[in-house]
Amino acid sequence: MKDNIIANRMRARSIFLQLIIGIVIIAFILNKLDINEIISVLIKTDYLFFILACVSYLFLNIILAGRLNYLLARIGYNTGYPTVFFSHMGGMIVGDITPGRSGYFLTPPILKKNAGTKITDGMACIFAPQGIEFILKVAGAVAAIFYISSRTTISKDLLISVSIGAVLLLVAGILMLIISWHSENMTSRFISKLPFFKRFTEKLSFFKERSIQIKGSLNAILILYLIGWVFAGLQWFYLGKALGIQLPFIAFFLLHPLITILMFVPISPAGLGLMEGGVILVFSLFGILPATALAFSVLVRVSILLVDLIGLKTVLSSLHYSDIIS
């Protein structure tokens, strides 16, 4: 118990430090821009398009929760979609405020409380699919680079930023698949060093057994990811429309994985500051003013938080649950 308290305090301090880093980056960006100009752009937001963006993001989460529900069914659970959906949204809202969006991996403990599923089973249904998603996101970012290079010259700063994020995400994705689908001896040593996952080391054989069971669902995982990517692109497209940004859907479809890679760099909560800087840098290549680009990133954050608040009640009702905080 004492070890858990110490670990929780250290985790809280780490998140607080990373929040400060994010705020410092945001402050630096705002210092370079005219705040009044940003506010002026936001005031002119077309709320119909903003609502459409929120609906698109909601559909993305419906699909992601559907994937989780499908994989749980594949390993023998009949939890019911509503329970899975609200547990998924609980994980999403925690992910919005944690470095690298790692808080989403608290979804399995939430599922255990709400549906009685084993934590290792819930993790198996999330871990490998998330690894596949990371790898596909990197592929999308590479496609975006080719798309941008066909229209304009790519800056060195952009290439460096994207390369760092892409390498981190690609390595994470590959390691996640190795942990899920390869030898237990190698992965047990590695997973014991990871936050959120070290508690699963002693039950790794159960985790691997379930992960291998869902390996045959690779096609379904890929198809659902691609459908979700379309709705993610629609979210950004409608947010662009809300601010009068004249870019085609394909641009937002490809820019989404390119820029959101920065949300998974674990130096600030959900890439706070990094994503905003990335949006400004990438949008400038299309002739979009920095104030408009930052306003766009604000709307991205707001639309995500508004929808993810659906899971807030689920998280709050789970705070006393020992598996969530241990």
Interacting residues of 184 by C-beta distance below 8 A, sequence separation 6+: 204, 205, 208
State pTM to two decimals.
0.85
Question: Is residue 242 within 8 Å of 53, Cβ to Cβ?
Answer: yes
Does pLDDT of 221 surpass 80?
A: yes
Q: How much of the chain exceeds pLDDT 90, in percent?
A: 31
Interacting residues of 63 by C-beta distance below 8 A, sequence separation 6+: 224, 227, 228, 231
Does pLDDT of 312 surpass 60?
A: yes
Under the banding of pLDDT at 50, 70 and 90, the label for residue 11 is: low
Using alpha carbons, list the distances in angstroms from residue 212 to 28, 134, 191, 320.
Answer: 46, 19, 17, 32
**122, HSE (Cβ side, Cα atoms, 13 Å):** 26
Domain ranges of the chain: 2-325
In 3D, which of 283, 268, 263 has the Cα closest to residue 41?
283
pLDDT digits over 49-75, tens only?
999 999 999 999 999 999 999 999 988
Using alpha carbons, list the distances in angstroms from residue 175 to 103, 186, 251, 258, 293.
Answer: 18, 11, 30, 21, 34
Give me the sign of the Cα torsion angle 239, 312, 79, 104: positive
Does pLDDT of 290 surpass 80?
A: yes
pLDDT greater at residue 9 or residue 67: 67
